[in-house]
Structure 1
Amino acid sequence: MEFDWIIVGAGSAGSVLANRLTADGRTTVAVIEAGKPDNSVLIKMPMGLMWLMGGKRWNYGFRSSPQEHLDKREVPVPRGKALGGSSSINGMIYIRGHRTDFDAWATMGCPGWSYDDVLPYFRKSEVNGRLGGDGYHGDDGELHVSDNRDPHRLNERFFGAGDMLQIPRNPDFNGAHQEGLGMYQTTTHEGKRWSTADAFLRPAMNRPNLTVLTGRQVRRVIVEDKRAKGVETDQGKLTARAGVILAAGAIASPQLLQLSGIGDPARLSQLGIDLVYGNPAVGDNLHDHPNVMLMRKIKSSESYGLSLVGIPRAALAAFNYFYRNRGMFASNVVEAGGFARTIPGIPAPDVQFHFVPFHRSTVPGRIYAWGHGYALHVCVLRPTSRGRVDAVSRDPAVAPRIDPNMMATEYDRETLLRGTRLARRIMESPTFAEVNGEELLPGEQAQSDEDLMAFIRERCGTVYHPVGTCRMGSDAEAVVEPHRLTVNGLNGLHVVDASVMPQIVSGNTNAATIMIAEKVAEAIMAEARMSRAA
């Protein structure tokens, strides 16, 4: 089986690449996905994400190594295992990041990645139901970005609390300004999840020059004479004439490089892997948004929840969803949120909120609890702690060691502490006073900085945004160069996914990953056209 390009991973980046590289009708592409087709009702139904995050059918369900600064706890690291990848199990929130994020990339040795450089690629993908056609948003792309059809009324209490704390309302977090509170737009269409498989991969699957292979595990990239020649899978080998693109994400892409002999020579030697190209930075620079969740009960049945009122209400909502694609089950649950500064005068917001009008269990890993309430997540937008991903076996099916080294720096700890106090002030605002019941997390007893830091160590996790493990840059230690994201020291091997981000974006990472794939696909096809012309 021979193709021009082999793409490993049919997720957020891989689906975009497959669509763009086959659009000319001449370039043959194989996409290899270890997971299954995305044909579950839980994937299509936005509220299904609550079950997808904890399950194993559509989710690798990785866990980190014990975290030194989080009471030696392991934290969940969910990653999508289906067509669409993590875009098939994520919270669907469409956030690009702050302008300064991309300008910082450009100053970190990544020319061509400033905000002005990348904005056209964000717009290219997007078809925005409310904002499309302005200077920031597209109206003729493939990726549907939509407003919530039936927002919960508790969101208005959240916005009112922001008003009282001088946090402005913001109708567009991806426009001129990021700061403020508002409704999140989501990658949904007519009440259903709109993953990258829906937007990019499925429309291209009728092209004769695209082959999509599911249920295949890539074991390694075949490299000969410093050039990628194909891949070895658990069902045989595939050959690539032009090259191989790893789009397997910030956990699997560095693992596959290491299994292919590309990485830290000492670590590879311990696994008995022959060295192809030595670069200790492969797997390094892992980071994510550290996050804690505050929770309160409410005295009414106003929120989503399980109760004598809530159960029949949910039954009616199910009928409403399956017949009209509206109501509670069309909600991504994390309907509203925003961005704020915990220190006045800093250049950009340093924390993000996710507001959840749903009563969850306080027991980690459990979804439901009896009653009604709401939660407010707060995360650090630009963490400074860094960790690693390392293969621990020559078998790619064995999960790698994932050590984000969370909350290792004073900056991360202090920022999350300030964010927790600000979140608590929002939840104690007079706009919530008439409905507020008991504070479940962190609990009324936690008042001092020491108490709140103990709560953070006990409860801190991530927002499931791992990045950085195949960092792009112009320096010798970068894993990929910044133009076409070619692996340094090799030819015909690229990494195109969230792992190339030198620094995490200020917000949910899915939109930026799609943008990265758009930009690199254009560069690859431009080079191919020049080659043919020559």
Structure 2
Amino acid sequence: MTRSTLKAWLVAAVAASIATAGSNSDQLQVYDYVVVGGGTAGSALATRLSQGLPDKTILLIEAGPEALDEDRINIPGMKGSTLGTLYDWNFTTIPQTGLNGRVLGANRGKVLGGSSALNLMTWDRSAAEEYDGWEQLGNPSWNWKNMIAAMKDVETFTGINSSNYGDQGVGTSGPIHTIINRVIPAQQELWLQSMADLGIPHNLNSLGGNPIGYMNQPSNIDSRTWTRSYAANSYIPKSGSNLHLLLETRVAKVNLRKGRNSHTATGVTLQDGTIISVRREVILSCGAIQSPGLLELSGIGSKAVLSKAGIDQIIDLEGVGENLQDHVRYQASYQLKDNFTSFDILKYNTTYAATQLALWHAKQTSLYDYTGSGYSYLNWHQVVGNMAAKLNSLAQNVVLSLGSVVDKKKLQYIGSLLSPQVEVIFSDGYTGVKGYPTIGSPLYGKGFFTLIGVVMHPLSRGNIHITSADVDTKPLIDPQYLSNEYDVQAAIEAIKYCRKIANSSPLSSAWVSEFEPGMAVQTDEDWRQYVLNTTLSIYHPVGTCAMLPKKDGGVVNPELIVYGTNNLRVVDASIIPVLPSAHIQTAVYGIAERAARFIIEIS
């Protein structure tokens, strides 16, 4: 099937399901299952329910449009170009004390497929012991064995037993297609060699539960068409006619009926007042930023929060919107020597960019294929050696003052040699904070690479809450980034290690100057201020409807049912109790796969 034929077929398949929903007024009023949020988890879950329960009706409600023919989503090399557009909710945090009062973006997908349509296509997993940790926190069956089985069901990986990957931890028959990028720049090859020279092991099985090492990491790209493979174009076309889509539609609240021992979700009220009833379940898949808000709009949450928003409390559940965790990133950028070509050329050379785009459309190798594949996952001993004990001591002091089960679990990982504490990404091209050099400046037209450092288990935890009963009012988002000394020192060590890599042979032979932060940054105080002034989110929010015992701040039980209800579930990143040492999309897909099995088994 050609790229254009596949695109036409996908658009037609989705259009048919929308038309079916719109053409039958009875079906618009009552469904067996209503899934709110057609993002990464919601699209996958609704599809699996459609397949596994062919005699049941499923409605998937998404606030955004479908964008199956949108080049900025489909073309790998255009990753990031949809942030801040109509496909983005464009959320922001409140001013962050730990970042010198800065406000950060909190980008999330407002489009069919959600953030799987907007993300940068990293396909990875955290350490096996971290998934086992979910079970240890009071969630039977949520462990590595069951999660890896679910995550493998998500994917079709191309490249088993190749020069870039082995054979562990990958699926071969799932909807999402993954592959290691066929474009690997010369400067990335030098980075890989420098990592080896620093004593970091080459990991050819990074998806198998042991991510420690450096590698060329897979991306969710369909090798048949070299396009992004995501929830909307890879899951939904596999659904049956019993799945209906309702797009560009907001849900105002979940309707609840009080019973003897619990509340029953009877359906949802749309923003225009339309009521859609359910025979079986309402499932929220709005993501870590919006699922807690919809619970609060429905009267589920803290009395203090609900009262301020003018909402009557129906179910007292203090954990709603709490336990917000996110990864943040720190960047070091380097000007390449002129004999290297970087991804930046697509910014300043329009003729070259047009030629490369034509090659992509002709299904030939192109710079627009590029997503980046140079990744490393490191424990503290690998990054700072004997200083790891000092960082562990800092973390212990923070955890002693906080004391939650989540913090204690993170402390366990911080001291582990198996769970990564720092991720370093080789990003070809400039992706720093200052901005690419402006037209007319001496460095305009130059190429760069950026090393991105990420601390995997920050101890900062924040919250997300509504402030109004109006669904259009954006939530108040307070991640409390860098709110403790461990997180600050960990960030400093991560970005210093990025400079160490850049100065290591043979990568050091590829660049002429450090563009950012610049060699004027040398002292501990210099590094501290650089971190406070430049840290950005990497958009991995989790934990705000945590799968934990209620006494520990939990919102859902191990079957993902909201406490105090019997048929209202949350299925998305918000249920992840502890931020994993990985980008989150494979875990989110895996959660959706497991939830579908729960629901199908009891139906």
| TM-score when normalising by structure 1 | 0.94
Give CA-to-partner distance per residue, 1:8-37, whole Å, 9 cap, x none.
011111011111111131111000000000
Question: Does 1:374 find its partner at 2:449?
Answer: yes
Give, in whole Å, the separation in 1 of the partners of 2:519 and 2:478.
32
Correspondence for 1:64 among 93, 112, 117: 93
Q: Secondary structure at the match of 1:280?
A: coil
Q: Given the superposition, is the C-alpha separation of residues 440 and 124 from structure 1 closer, same or farther in structure 2, using an over 3 Å criterion?
A: same
Q: In terms of mean alpha carbon deviation, does 25-34 or 91-100 score higher?
A: 91-100
Give, in whole Å, the separation in 1 of the partners of 2:44 and 2:348.
44
Displacement after TM superposition at 1:56 (Å): 2.2
Question: Does 1:260 find its partner at 2:290?
Answer: no
Q: Which residue of 1 aligns with 2:234?
A: 199
Give, in whole Å, the separation in 2 of the partners of 1:194 and 1:367.
34
Q: Secondary structure at the match of 1:266?
A: helix
Displacement after TM superposition at 1:284 (Å): 0.1
* Unpaired segments ≥5 residues, structure 2: 1-28, 386-414
Do 1:290 and 1:407's aligned partners in 2 also have CA atoms closer than 8 Å?
Answer: no
Correspondence for 2:71 among 38, 41, 44: 41
Question: Does 1:118 find its partner at 2:147?
Answer: yes
Give, in whole Å, the separation in 2 of the partners of 1:366 and 1:478.
47
Give, in whole Å, the separation in 1 of the partners of 2:588 and 2:437.
30
Do 1:407 and 1:413's aligned partners in 2 also have CA atoms closer than 8 Å?
Answer: yes
Q: Secondary structure at the match of 1:375?
A: strand
Q: Which residue of 1 aligns with 2:392?
A: none
Look up the equivalent residue of 1:64 and give its one-letter code: T
Do 1:360 and 1:367's aligned partners in 2 also have CA atoms closer than 8 Å?
Answer: no
Do 2:300 and 2:313's aligned partners in 1 also have CA atoms closer than 8 Å?
Answer: yes
Q: Given the superposition, is the C-alpha separation of residues 475 and 367 from structure 1 closer, same or farther in structure 2, using an over 3 Å criterion?
A: farther
Give CA-to-partner distance per residue, 1:319-378, whole Å, 9 cap, x none.
11111153211212x331111123258422210112111134643699996421110111
Give CA-to-partner distance per residue, 1:288-336, whole Å, 9 cap, x none.
012111111112142122499954432321111111153211212x331
Give, in whole Å, the separation in 1 of the partners of 2:423 and 2:502.
15
Q: Which residue of 1 aligns with 2:423?
A: 352
Q: Given the superposition, is the C-alpha separation of residues 385 and 208 from structure 1 closer, same or farther in structure 2, using an over 3 Å criterion?
A: same
Q: Which residue of 1 aligns with 2:18?
A: none
Question: Does 1:20 find its partner at 2:59?
Answer: no
Q: Secondary structure at the match of 1:430?
A: coil
Question: Does 1:429 find its partner at 2:504?
Answer: yes
Displacement after TM superposition at 1:477 (Å): 4.5
Do 1:294 and 1:424's aligned partners in 2 also have CA atoms closer than 8 Å?
Answer: yes
Give, in whole Å, the separation in 1 of the partners of 2:246 and 2:602.
26
Displacement after TM superposition at 1:511 (Å): 0.3
Correspondence for 2:570 among 478, 483, 495: 495
Look up the equivalent residue of 2:256 and give its one-letter code: V
Q: Secondary structure at the match of 2:32?
A: strand
Q: Which residue of 2 aligns with 1:153?
A: 186
Q: Given the superposition, is the C-alpha separation of residues 449 and 136 from structure 1 closer, same or farther in structure 2, using an over 3 Å criterion?
A: same
Q: Secondary structure at the match of 1:50?
A: coil
Question: Does 1:227 find its partner at 2:264?
Answer: yes
Give, in whole Å, the separation in 2 of the partners of 1:104 and 1:165.
31
Q: Given the superposition, is the C-alpha separation of residues 308 and 209 from structure 1 closer, same or farther in structure 2, using an over 3 Å criterion?
A: closer
Displacement after TM superposition at 1:134 (Å): 4.5
- Number of aligned positions between the proteins: 524
Give CA-to-partner distance per residue, 1:490-531, whole Å, 9 cap, x none.
121000000001101111000000001111110111011xxx
Do 2:556 and 2:570's aligned partners in 1 also have CA atoms closer than 8 Å?
Answer: no
Q: Which residue of 1 aligns with 2:369?
A: 330
Give, in whole Å, the separation in 2 of the partners of 1:366 and 1:69.
28
Q: Which has the higher helix share?
A: 2
Q: Given the superposition, is the C-alpha separation of residues 129 and 307 from structure 1 closer, same or farther in structure 2, using an over 3 Å criterion?
A: closer
Question: Does 1:175 find its partner at 2:220?
Answer: no
Give, in whole Å, the separation in 2 of the partners of 1:449 and 1:109.
41
Question: Does 1:524 find its partner at 2:554?
Answer: no
Do 2:80 and 2:119's aligned partners in 1 also have CA atoms closer than 8 Å?
Answer: no
Q: Which residue of 2 aligns with 1:458?
A: 533
Q: In terms of mean alpha carbon deviation, does 133-142 or 159-168 score higher?
A: 133-142
Q: In terms of mean alpha carbon deviation, does 156-165 or 322-331 score higher?
A: 322-331
Question: Does 1:10 find its partner at 2:38?
Answer: yes
Correspondence for 1:214 among 213, 232, 247: 247
Give, in whole Å, the separation in 2 of the partners of 1:34 and 1:325.
35
Q: Given the superposition, is the C-alpha separation of residues 392 and 442 from structure 1 closer, same or farther in structure 2, using an over 3 Å criterion?
A: same
Look up the equivalent residue of 1:407 and give its one-letter code: L
Identity of counterpart residues, as a percentage? 29
Q: Secondary structure at the match of 2:380?
A: coil
Do 1:31 and 1:212's aligned partners in 2 also have CA atoms closer than 8 Å?
Answer: yes
Give CA-to-partner distance per residue, 1:232-276, whole Å, 9 cap, x none.
112411111101000000001001001111011011011110111
Look up the equivalent residue of 1:527 and give its one-letter code: I
Look up the equivalent residue of 1:15 and give its one-letter code: S
Do 1:342 and 1:419's aligned partners in 2 also have CA atoms closer than 8 Å?
Answer: no
Q: Which residue of 1 aligns with 2:10?
A: none
Displacement after TM superposition at 1:435 (Å): 2.4
Q: Given the superposition, is the C-alpha separation of residues 524 and 307 from structure 1 closer, same or farther in structure 2, using an over 3 Å criterion?
A: closer
Correspondence for 1:92 among 121, 126, 129: 121
Displacement after TM superposition at 1:177 (Å): 2.4
Q: Secondary structure at the match of 1:316?
A: helix
Displacement after TM superposition at 1:478 (Å): 3.9
